[in-house]
Structure 1
Amino acid sequence: MSAPSSPSAQVSGPAVAALHYAVALPEPHTHLLQVTLTIAQPSATQTLMLPVWIPGSYLVREFARHVQGMTARQSGRACPVTTLDKHRWQVSCRAGVPLEVHYVVYAHDASVRAAWLDAERCFFNPAAVCVQAEGHAHLPHVLALTEAPAGWELATALPAQEVDARGLGCYAAPDYDTLADSPVELGRFWSGSFTAHGIPHRLVISQPPPSFDADRLLADTRRICEAEMRFWHGGTPPDADAQPSPGMAPFDHYLFLLHTVQDGYGGLEHGTSTALIASRKTLPRPGVRPGDDYTTLLGLISHEYFHAWNVKRLRPADLLPYDYTQESYTSLLWFFEGITSYYDDLLLLRAGCIDAATYLRQLDRAIEQVRATPGRHVQSVADASRDAWIKYYRPDEHTPNATVSYYTKGALVALCLDLTLREEGHASLDDVMRLLWQRCCPQGHTQKGLTEADVADALETVGGRSFARELRQWVHGTAELPVEKLLSLHGVRILRSAASLPRQWGLRCQESPAGIQIQTVLRGGVAEAAGLAPGDEWLGVELPDPLPGSHGAWRVATLADVEALLPPPGPSGLREVTALVARDRRLLRLPLGLPATTVQQWKLGFSRPPGNRAHKHWPWA
């Protein structure tokens, strides 16, 4: 590992390519990126296209809405530019004569998906900034950023051609897909590095807090990377100065770009890098024992790094090749995101970053999230995968009733598959994943796209029997998963207790100084039966008369106020109260029946010590 450092200059040849993008930021406070594309050998009518989505985030984003003022020149003369549709332009020019296209991109999207520019920082995905020249996507591309404010550095996973000590200069990509898959960070950032199995890794953190435990973060990130390399390829951790281990990763370098904010969370995977957003409070602090916030950050790092194998190279056949012009549907996001979600925390345990009790807490949260989602009875994870374009990234108040997360339930499907394989004595899901890697990516690169038939065949090969019934019921069906049974077979017990008041009534609420705002009314709960609706403001509770010493209406401002007025959940003498709510400035009295039975929440615990294996395939050894 190394202390924070600036990138060293690299020179591997002149910045010559069929397509050359020069990106400038002369006035960062305007949030405008100036882009000049030079096409060495344009067509007579050259079509340009900006992707409408970015791989890994399955929603049409319409990046072209931020493009303005496109002009073109050839041999000093202006060329007409015609807008064809929402994301394409056509330039009338002479074939074979270098064409220069200039345009401006408004960059004020703080997510990991698009572009951001202000006086302190610049970040962008080339998919949101660099137009593709039709017919030229397979040719070499160069991205040039040669000027930036004083003190700013540049970080990207693209190979450097000619760069200075700050990283400013020219970067090469063999084709447009590689360019689009390589985010760029500029600014005054913290930087540290380490090697994992001899392969260099760099961690860049923009706008971190004044003090954090950099050594711990680098050490834990290294442990994660090495655990995931061993997962896919086997091997043991080398010495820090060891030479790269052949075949231990499908890349020869890797870059983590972490932007820290007050509140936020997310990540987007790329082939040799990842872009992350996390709260500053998730970073470890010197001398302070890390808690769940830090575990959340490590889980995000683990998740996106795992994607370097599972989705970036082991790719769904439906997404080969990427079609940037429209939605690309697949029913396998439960596999690519769900299985990745299963392993992100499990590999933290294997890497020694968390203990078994912490792992069970993380697993418990996932189980409870699914159990609290009525939509699991409506939508399968296969359908959720295909519907991602219109549902997952556009949640509303009805989402929990109509959909299920292919991330979270997909992780539980992976858990059930893993525990079933282990219980039957036929290795584990680890072996299935490695077999699929060997079959689809034999040289570390995508050779064939993955289909569900491939998954089924690998399960049968490893498990010694068909898993068609499990895939039909767990992936394409909506029945409950056998989580409780399988966990109990592997030494995990489930403790039950009364769920929170909102869960008892089938509500999701938000508290504020103004009072209780109802966000979601869950399907099948007493709140739905009473007629409560999203957007209602819960003002008070009216108790029945006679109820000794307590009858009348009571003002409530918090859920604790409501809970204090009522008996514990379950059978009692009190069967109904009246909810006083405001809706569209109208006051309503809604009879609210109390739950006849107690809604329970789960808490997982070990029925035998984590170090005591039930058998050789116990997953938490």
Structure 2
Amino acid sequence: MRSILFAGLSGLAVLVAMDADARAGEVAPPQQLPLPAPIPSARDVRMPGTIALKVDGTDLARHIYTVHETLPVAPELSAHGGDFIVRYPMWVPGDHAPTGSITQFGGLSVHAGAQAVTWVRDTVDISAFHIPLPAGATSVTLDFQILTPVSPDVGRVVMTPDMLNVQWNAVALYPAGYFTRGITVSPTLVLPHGWQYGTALRPRAGTAPGDSVTFQDTSFDRLVDSPVFAGRYFRRFDLTPPHGAPVSLDVVADRPEELAATDAQVQAHRNLVVQANAVFGSHHYEHYDFLLALTEELGRIGLEHHQSSENSGPRGYFTKWDKTFPFRDLLPHEFTHSWNGKFRRPEDLWAADFNTPHRGSLLWIYEGQTQYWGYVLAARSGLMTPPQVLDAIAMVAATYDGRAGRLWRPLVDTTNDPVIARRTPLSWRSWQRSEDYYSEGQLLWLEVDTLLRDLSHGQHSLDEVAKRFFGVDDGSVVTHTYRREDMIAALNAVQPYDWAKFLHDRVDVVTRHAPLEGLARGGYRLTFATEPTPYLSAREALLKMHDYSFSLGFVLNQKGRLVNVEWNSPAWQAGLTMDEEIVAVNDYAFDADTLSDAITAASANGAAPIRLLVRAGDRYKTVSIPYHGGLRYPRLERIANTPDMLADILKPREVTP
């Protein structure tokens, strides 16, 4: 009986389903709605009139910038009214990704004259706002706030009780339809009482000293390229070289005592300007301001601009000079960008406005060669000693030669990482590879430099290529774009060689090892020792971490939390992952000395594996790691009876006054 009933019900179900299918066939399937009209493309025309932009940075307690902005309306739009579109900058040069902080944007109100106007956000491009203007409106007034992060948990902190960082792209809207170089802005900044500031902008002539400063009119693209550091504790050091364009070091600090630089320390920064000009044989700024924040409160930054740079250093940058040197390649790096990246820029990284996507296929030149010059100029200027730089290069060489991700991903593909990862934490950085074009690029250009010297029997070097490539049009601030072929031509003009194949083999092809031939040609080999170099020890202290990357294969903070695990390392093989916490080592409570002693003891013949008690969230596990290789820290060792080419590379250049 059950089987007959089931069969009958099944047959009925089939008939019902067939009927439903027939009825469904009468209804058209859904179709995609067409997208709205795109935002008008930028045109290389000048916007009529001048934007008046006023930014109030006095609300330190709530970390809020208050913005009042008046934009002129083009006569043809004013005559009939219509859609006035303003945009929030999203693609910021130097970030190589759409990092615009629109999540911090709030409180927008719009007026055309005295009339309030209702704005509408674009449904596709969320950084664009449509403003329906009535006929006869000659200007639009915008009021809004930028609700900056109140803690590092929210984002990069740009306002503290003692300093602030104004990035104009974060506090301004601009009209769509124009190249940003054709938009003129009159910017005003209101600071807390008595604060001083540093910026590449200059105050308008006749402006009285005070807490509100109006800067000279400038183009919107140059405004975005001219951020401000301001603070309660501020000091400016003149770095201008003899007969050179003005250069200054503008320093803000959490505490006034951090500003106590010695004459020798300031002279090292002056040397940087002289040595950079010697390399490039030119300058491409009317004046240049190093903006430097010595802070544990303002968010970390290193960002290039054409006539300035945003830099942060640790407390003790001056007062603990012998301990802070691992961070002192930052200013040489960002200064180099005035030539490489700002004056000369890869053509696919140049854009007409701040909402057009960038393409970073040549970041291994833009950032990689800049990283190389950052270390070289740090040594030539005295910001770092040559032994400190050699120790830093050893760390770079060991890291990138052992990077597991090289087995599947070529260097050129890492130039997409600013867009892919947005510099967010990665679970397996060594396998994913991240932005390797920086430091592997540095090794690449070291190889180029030593090969140029070798092929020419010491007659030519990368200095000459840099002067030929970046030193054109001395004094010009107009960006010159370039392609890979242009760099290859510059190399061949100095020393003929198959540079196209050389670069292709190292950039475009998956390779098992990092380009370390520059070390060998330069007279050194990468080795490992059981004691860290002074550079590694100082770096660990500054970063408050312990680095066992080349032994067990992980980095951990002072509390034992794993902040990185190397792919396929002993720790990886044992199943350890990022964010787990080492609680005990061989049954003793964790500290770095106990762990180091255990690694050393395990290197003895017949030693037992290293035992770790690990906490993963609310769970505990015991991990046994059969590693017996001892502590390993990278360093460079001289190859006997070879020229010390690296010593010559790092030696200061003689400069005729």
Coarse TM-score class (shorter-chain normalised) = 0.7 to 0.9
Change (3 A) 1:555 1:369: same
Equivalent of residue 572 in structure 2, options 524, 528, 531: 528
The corresponding residue for 2:551 is 504
State the alpha-carbon separation in 2 of the partners of residues 529 and 615 from structure 1: 40
The corresponding residue for 2:130 is 90
Indicate conservation of the 8 Å contact 2:69/2:142, yes or no.
Answer: yes
Structure 1, residues 69-92: CA drift from partner, whole Å, max 9, x if none? 212222322222222242111112
Q: Tell which deviates more after alignment, 82-91 or 352-361.
A: 352-361
State the alpha-carbon separation in 2 of the partners of residues 207 and 615 from structure 1: 39
State the alpha-carbon separation in 1 of the partners of residues 424 and 195 from structure 2: 36
How far is 1:54 from its partner?
A: 1.8
How far is 1:535 from its partner?
A: 3.4
How far is 1:167 from its partner?
A: 7.8
Give the match's secondary structure for 1:504.
coil
Equivalent of residue 294 in structure 2, options 245, 260, 269: 260
Change (3 A) 1:292 1:277: same
- Give the number of aligned pairs: 568
Equivalent of residue 159 in structure 1, options 198, 202, 205: 202
Give the match's secondary structure for 1:388.
helix
Indicate conservation of the 8 Å contact 1:518/1:533, yes or no.
Answer: yes
Q: TM-score, normalised by structure 2?
A: 0.78
Indicate conservation of the 8 Å contact 1:349/1:359, yes or no.
Answer: yes
Structure 1, residues 497-537: CA drift from partner, whole Å, max 9, x if none? 2487653222333341xxx3333332222222222333333
Letter of the aligned partner of 2:505 in structure 1?
Q
Equivalent of residue 465 in structure 1, options 497, 502, 516: 497
Give the match's secondary structure for 1:103.
strand
Match status 1:329 vs 2:359: yes
Structure 1, residues 384-434: CA drift from partner, whole Å, max 9, x if none? 112222236123231122205221111111111111111111612222222
Q: TM-score, normalised by structure 1?
A: 0.82
Indicate conservation of the 8 Å contact 1:397/1:519, yes or no.
Answer: no
Change (3 A) 1:210 1:117: closer
Change (3 A) 1:108 1:384: same
State the alpha-carbon separation in 1 of the partners of residues 632 and 326 from structure 2: 25
Indicate conservation of the 8 Å contact 2:64/2:146, yes or no.
Answer: yes
How far is 1:271 from its partner?
A: 1.1
State the alpha-carbon separation in 2 of the partners of residues 523 and 115 from structure 1: 32
Indicate conservation of the 8 Å contact 1:422/1:618, yes or no.
Answer: no
Where in structure 2 are the equivalents of 1:19-418 lying within 5 Å? Answer: 19-25=51-57, 27-42=59-74, 43=77, 44-84=82-122, 85-93=125-133, 94=135, 97-108=138-149, 116-136=158-178, 137-145=180-188, 147-162=190-205, 163-166=207-210, 168-188=212-232, 189-196=234-241, 197-207=243-253, 209-211=255-257, 212-233=260-281, 248-262=282-296, 265-284=300-319, 290-293=321-324, 295-325=325-355, 327-391=357-421, 393-404=423-434, 405-418=436-449
Change (3 A) 1:203 1:520: closer
How far is 1:370 from its partner?
A: 2.3
Q: Tell which deviates more after alignment, 42-51 or 257-266.
A: 257-266
The corresponding residue for 2:36 is none
How far is 1:56 from its partner?
A: 0.7
Structure 1, residues 161-208: CA drift from partner, whole Å, max 9, x if none? 242235843223442111111102333322232322431122221125
Cα RMSD, aligned residues only: 3.3
Give the match's secondary structure for 1:309.
coil
State the alpha-carbon separation in 2 of the partners of residues 566 and 614 from structure 1: 35
Change (3 A) 1:149 1:304: same
State the alpha-carbon separation in 1 of the partners of residues 387 and 229 from structure 2: 37
Match status 1:583 vs 2:616: yes
How far is 1:46 from its partner?
A: 1.2
Letter of the aligned partner of 1:489 in structure 2?
R
How far is 1:49 from its partner?
A: 0.6
Letter of the aligned partner of 2:489 in structure 1?
D
Change (3 A) 1:148 1:261: closer
Where in structure 2 are the equivalents of 1:572-611 lying within 5 Å? Answer: 572-574=605-607, 576=609, 579-595=612-628, 601-606=633-638
Change (3 A) 1:198 1:105: same
Letter of the aligned partner of 2:253 in structure 1?
Q
Change (3 A) 1:210 1:35: closer
State the alpha-carbon separation in 1 of the partners of residues 572 and 231 from structure 2: 50
State the alpha-carbon separation in 2 of the partners of residues 119 and 509 from structure 1: 31
Give the match's secondary structure for 1:505.
coil
How far is 1:57 from its partner?
A: 1.4
State the alpha-carbon separation in 1 of the partners of residues 644 and 617 from structure 2: 59
State the alpha-carbon separation in 2 of the partners of residues 316 and 606 from structure 1: 37
Change (3 A) 1:571 1:456: farther
Give the match's secondary structure for 1:342.
helix
State the alpha-carbon separation in 1 of the partners of residues 374 and 595 from structure 2: 38
- Compare CA radii of gyration and give the structure with the larger one: 2
Change (3 A) 1:146 1:52: closer
Letter of the aligned partner of 1:128 in structure 2?
A
Letter of the aligned partner of 1:207 in structure 2?
A
Structure 1, residues 300-342: CA drift from partner, whole Å, max 9, x if none? 1111111111101110111222552254121211211111111
How far is 1:346 from its partner?
A: 0.8
Give the match's secondary structure for 2:158.
strand
Structure 1, residues 546-565: CA drift from partner, whole Å, max 9, x if none? xxxxxxxx234134334544
The corresponding residue for 1:421 is 452
Indicate conservation of the 8 Å contact 1:364/1:604, yes or no.
Answer: yes
The corresponding residue for 2:12 is none
Letter of the aligned partner of 1:461 in structure 2?
A
Indicate conservation of the 8 Å contact 1:67/1:105, yes or no.
Answer: yes
Change (3 A) 1:463 1:601: farther
Give unmatched runs, 5+ long, in structure 1: 1-15, 234-247, 543-553
Give the match's secondary structure for 1:151.
coil
Where in structure 2 are the equivalents of 1:553-568 lying within 5 Å? Answer: 554-565=587-598, 568=601
Indicate conservation of the 8 Å contact 1:580/1:587, yes or no.
Answer: yes
How far is 1:139 from its partner?
A: 3.5
